[in-house]
Each structure stands twice: as structure tokens, then as C-alpha cells.
Structure 1
């Protein structure tokens, strides 16, 4: 389709078109996008075609048997994801207004946060305060920080500092990072692995810009080590899955490996690379007692996780 021609006036895309494109990107095919939207495949194709026509931009490369998203398409997707997340929050707010007798507490966590921890914490809250409606939002630390400051989130567990007069902050998790390997890897039998051991070792890294990647890159540079980065992944579950598949070893916080220990070996790592998760919440909250209960439940669930002590 190419660039917008001269004199072209872009038509406003519909919400359904945005939903269709988002579903296509996240599922990888038109047919699965149609399933997500509960419509037929031709209807989904029509929405995608009209979306591209309305904005005058090629978002999907159809030159091969399997259509793929273009680079421009990914940039558009990121904006759509942000916008529709706001729509979801409106829906949550409306649901909260309809059930004013319930206390709504929204907790933000970073991607890869242990699902087992969250579910156990939710069970504890449910037993002690069944009137609390608890919801979890998964986003980056920066996004969650803004959510706390704007009071859209009641609590956030983030991997960064947030020094602000309107925010209370405490350490939620403070353990150095560890090395994870497949169970049959030679490193799995050792008590300690050093940075020098990673020289030329197939290594699975987090994507550039993440906290973990910055810490490991700095440590490798200081030690003069060149690991063989064979794969990069955005989230801890992906890194754990690739490691378990025997594609390489990975350095990460033991907290984020806790849901995957059945398939992995965890080995102490030197030099120690500190990784902090902080609990941040507004100084003034709508339900202070409920919020403190939620935080205590999260801490109790954290203390019960295997491999994180």
C-alpha cells in the first residue's frame, strides 16, 4: 500500500478495526484473530483491509503465504495497545462504580512476575476480606510508576527507584541474581558459577534496555567476558522456557524463575548482581487497611515460594 498519497485525508478508524489489528498481531494469524473476536475469518480480513485503507498505510506484509506485521505495523500496534488499555481501565472503573459496596484494589506488577505468587496472595485476601475486588495489571516499571503517581494504581511492584513525596516505597524482594541452566547442563552440578565461566557460553539474554540486561551487560564488560548471546527475550518466562529447552544459560532474579523450577537448575552466581523489587503506593489510599492486607498477602505468598530465599 505504501505511503499516504498527496492530498489523502485519513478516515478515522473504528474501535472494531483497532481490536482486529491488535488481535492479529497478538495471535499471528487472521483466523485466530477472528476466533478472538468471535467473528468469521472473512469479516476479520475485511476489518484489517479497511483499517489499512482508512489510514493509508501498509501494516501487514502479504507477500508470503503467511502474512506478517510490518515495522510500521508494530509501531501502530504499540499505540493501539496503549489506547485499548485505557479503554479497559474505563470498563474497570464502570464496574467499580456499579459495585460501590466492594473495595477495588488494583495492583501493578512487572512482566514475568510469578503467577503462583499472585494467585496465592489473592487467595489470602479472599479469605480475610471477601469484600475486596482485587485486580492485577502487568506493565513495565515505568508505566506502573506513572500509574501510582496518577493514582490509577493502588500498589505496584516495580524493578526501579521511585523517589517522590506522594509515594511510599519499601523493598519487596532483595536477592542477587542467579544462573539458570537445563538440569543436565554441566553448570547444574556446581555450587557456584563465575562470570568468567560464561566466556563463549551460549547465553540467553533479556532484551536491551531491561534492568536485568543492563546489570548483566555491565558485569560482563567489567569482567571482560564475551558471552555468546544466541537469543534475547522480553520476559522471564520466555527466558526460562528457552533455557529449559537447552538453548543456553541465563542470569536473572530467582523470583522470576520460581514458577519454572521443575524444568531448571538454579546455581549461585558471582559477582553478586543485586536485583531489587520495590512495593510502591500512594501516601494516601482509598482503603488503607485493605491495601495493607494485600501487601501482607503478597509478602506471605513471596515467602512461601520455592527457590527464592
Structure 2
């Protein structure tokens, strides 16, 4: 007969225990007194023992009812916790984001976005891994990361890749440099200038070499580095001039560490968004991406 046990009967039972009156229980459940009495009677039929003793308008639980109430209460507390978790997830008060990003974005750009995101959604835990673009692709292919940011021309069947922002590469100069008066720099401006280059293994390096070759310019190579931030540090300390991706150039220029100038002709640089292909983005991921796009627009003005 226990298959006839219903959640509504247990709700009525719990309400009568807590209020001590059938009428008060009916009010708490937004139903009628006869309805509650019927549910209690049905529950007594299901369990096979008396739950309440009636003394006038008062009802008193039997010892069997009190024992049952302990178990029912545990179940309802569990349901209440589940309800709170559902509300937390729905309202972004609980959850986590795992992000992998190329160093050009992971050193400052993404931390700035993450700081804004957790102010807006303080219940969310965000983890950031700074990795090379190829490593970001590998991380996303594992399906364990929620989103990744890189600059790549390769794909993976387990990853969805799409451009998230494109902006031109920038020349960076030490503050007070003689070329700082120019609104844009051409290949000839780099001829015989001390130059800090990206490492030869970085794809953008070949594009910069073609930029110089087209203008028959030969900068004087004084240093190489793998990261745009390292190059900007060298430039800020007077080692030479350089060409780097736009986000790092904009951050260093905004801090007054270097002068940033566009190139002519332009060298476009594309930042890619990676998402795991085997699952859909969560609502948190979508909201985070909205902040990323807004920050790109504020920083680079496009």
C-alpha cells in the first residue's frame, strides 16, 4: 500500500505536526481544512497506524507520528537545500568557471575582466590558467575548461574556435622617443633602429618580418622575447622599439610605460575564443563573454 504515499500527504502531516491544528495547517498549505483532514486520513491508511489523537480542536501526534516526523523532516530539509542550490545556480550565486588564456590576455586583460565579473557575481569561483595558445587548445579539447582565449590558425575536432576580436598590431616606443611625435609608423621608421623582436618561433614574428621586407627596412635586432609583456618591459626600460599585439600595447601605454602607435600598412591581429565542442556554454560563460567583448571595445576602441 506504500505506493499510494504522496508528497502532498507528507506536507499535510508535517504542517499539522508543526502547527498543532488542522485549520492552521490548511492555512499554511493554502488549502481547506477538509482537504487536510482527508490527506491525514489517507496517510494513516497507507502507513497502517494512527498519527494523531483528536482532543477537541487540538490534535496531538502519537509516538509513531513523532518517529515518522523525524524522517520526514530530514527529507524536507534536503528538498529545501536542493531548492536553495537551484536558486543559487539560477541567480549566479553558485558555480565556477575554468578559463585558459594566452599570456597576452591572461596577464592583465582577463584578470581585469574576472575582477569585474566576480564583483557582479560574487558567488562564482573563477580559475585562470595562463598557457601558450597551443596549450590552451589542448586544455579546451579535454572538455574540462569552460572557455579559452588564444591566437591560432589550427583547429581541433573537440573545440569550437571563433574570432572574438581583431585589431591592428602596434609599435611601442620608450617614453620620450624621437619617433613619438609621429601618428603612425611605417617600415622605414624602423630602419637601423634598436629593435626588440618576438621569438622566431612565434607566428606573428614572420608577419613583422614581411612588414619590414615590404618597406626594405632593416631594424637592428638587440633582443628577443616570447611574451609581449616581456618585450614591452624591455622597451619601457629603453632597450629599443618593438611591434606587439594590441592588448598588451594598450595596457602599457595606458599605464604610461610606453608610447603606442599604429602601423602603416596595418598588421591585423586576431584573438580567438575557444569553447568545448561537446557541451553548450553555461549561462555564466555567456555572461563572462559579454564582459570580455565589452572590455575589448573599451580598451581598443573598436
Deviation at 1:174, TM superposition (A): 0.4
Q: Provide the rounded CA distance (Å) in 2 between the counterparts of 1:209 and 1:153.
A: 26
CA change 1:287–1:193 in 2 (3 A) is closer
Deviation at 1:221, TM superposition (A): 3.0
Contact 1:103 1:287 in 2 (8 A): no
SS at match of 2:270: strand
Deviation at 1:114, TM superposition (A): 6.0
Deviation at 1:126, TM superposition (A): 1.6
Residues 5-33 of structure 1, C-alpha deviations (whole Å, 9 max, x = no match): xxxxxxxxxxxxxxxxxxxxxxxxxxxxx
2:241 aligned with 1:249: yes
- Gapped runs of 5+ residues in structure 2? 1-88
Residues 166-213 of structure 1, C-alpha deviations (whole Å, 9 max, x = no match): 433332220111111112112110012111221111101011111321
Residues 251-286 of structure 1, C-alpha deviations (whole Å, 9 max, x = no match): 112211222111111112122111101111013447
2:196 aligned with 1:204: yes
Of residues 124, 129, 135 in structure 2, which corresponds to 1:143?
135
CA change 1:212–1:308 in 2 (3 A) is farther
Contact 2:146 2:275 in 1 (8 A): yes
Of residues 264, 267, 275 in structure 1, which corresponds to 2:269?
275
**Superposition CA RMSD, Å:** 2.3
Of residues 172, 183, 204 in structure 2, which corresponds to 1:191?
183
Structure 2 length-normalised TM: 0.63
Structure 1 length-normalised TM: 0.62
Of residues 299, 302, 307 in structure 1, which corresponds to 2:296?
302
Q: Provide the rounded CA distance (Å) in 2 between the counterparts of 1:143 and 1:208.
A: 18
Larger Rg: 2
Contact 1:104 1:134 in 2 (8 A): yes
CA change 1:142–1:115 in 2 (3 A) is closer
Give the ranges of 4+ consecutive aligned residues of structure 1 lying more than 6 Å apart after TM superposition: none
The equivalent residue for 1:121 is 113
CA change 1:258–1:308 in 2 (3 A) is farther
Q: Provide the rounded CA distance (Å) in 1 between the counterparts of 2:128 and 2:94.
A: 16
Of residues 154, 167, 171 in structure 1, which corresponds to 2:159?
167
The correspondence of residues 19-38 of structure 1 with structure 2, limited to 5 A, is: none
SS at match of 1:251: strand
SS at match of 1:184: coil
Deviation at 1:308, TM superposition (A): 5.4
Residues 98-154 of structure 1, C-alpha deviations (whole Å, 9 max, x = no match): xx9942321111123264432332233224433321111111111111111122322
